[in-house]
Structure 1
């Protein structure tokens, strides 16, 4: 990491540490989720909703039924937006080759931390190519609950955020998932 990158990382860490000291910890919650299919012949949305799992516990659920196989390449574009009179880019905009990542996970890549947080809740755990119809090749995220500890590694100040996830398969944008969350918004 070069000098300017280290300075940026240090400044972000200081912002996070200050927000934790001021607010007394991190409290997160899902507020909304939307799924958009760009190519109806590629996939369909079976489920895209939040579900109350208990008092104050909200789980995200997504089920994308894949209609068009084989899938030879898959890219995931993951970006974070912060709400400030509209949503504006914030901190991350990463594109990861999921096929390569599944063969060679890299803990020094930011995508590693986001994928690791989803691992217990998602069925995406195999490499490419995906070339036969089976329910295991649908993309299923079940009861994903935000854990306040997730943001101890990836700092974020108090506010409302949108995670924008674009699924690019076989060279074309196929689906976009918009996940909205709050960090310490309701804390006094």
Structure 2
């Protein structure tokens, strides 16, 4: 008796759908730009630039969360509060979500270094294809609409939010 197995590769496709950048304290920092750009039908990227007005910055916390849309956006991961300066000193975390963002941002951002931050911070031309590869390899998520919410706390005060939306199909 012969048994045949058929194996299907499941291939997901991620696409940015929206981005919202909000500076709560414009005297402290503001966004020079915050956009998603479609170069053609298959290539999209995200770019964000935060102009820092009070430098150097030595104390940064980031509240990070991934949400999935059902009837509204509901959290699918626990809210992670990351001490950015401590993390950048060691660059090690047991949290898979932190490791995911680490891999995604380190090649596309100038913020990937130890504190203090004494310059504007940017994420430049982060392509959907790269995020897609990281999502399928690191965080295997089912198809759907997702949001990444981040709140940035500097020197003990909430300074801004960055919300990125996307679809995984």
TM-score norm. by structure 2 comes to 0.87
* Equivalent residue number for residue 169 of structure 1: 154
The 3-state SS of whatever aligns with 2:134 is: helix
Question: For structure 2, which runs of at least 5 residues remain unmatched after alignment?
Answer: 1-7
Alignment of 1:149 with 2:133, yes or no, is yes
Instruction: Say which structure is richer in helix.
Output: 1
* Equivalent residue number for residue 28 of structure 2: 42
Alignment of 1:77 with 2:58, yes or no, is no
Is the contact between residue 159 and residue 182 of structure 1 (CA under 8 Å) also seen in structure 2?
A: yes
Please report the RMSD computed on the Cα atoms of aligned residues, expressed in angstroms. Answer: 1.6
* Equivalent residue number for residue 4 of structure 2: none
The 3-state SS of whatever aligns with 1:122 is: coil
Q: What does 1:13-162 correspond to in 2, within 5 Å?
A: 24-110=10-96, 111-130=98-117, 132=118, 137-146=119-128, 147=130, 148-151=132-135, 152-162=137-147
Question: For structure 1, which runs of at least 5 residues remain unmatched after alignment?
Answer: 1-20
Runs of 4+ in structure 1 displaced over 2 angstroms? 107-110
TM-score norm. by structure 1 comes to 0.79
Deviations 1:94-148 (A, max 9, x none): 1111101111011533212212111111110222233x5xxxx211111111332
Once residues 53 and 76 of structure 1 are traced to their aligned partners in structure 2, the CA distance between those partners, rounded to angstroms, is 30
* Equivalent residue number for residue 18 of structure 1: none
* Equivalent residue number for residue 180 of structure 1: 165
The 3-state SS of whatever aligns with 1:60 is: strand
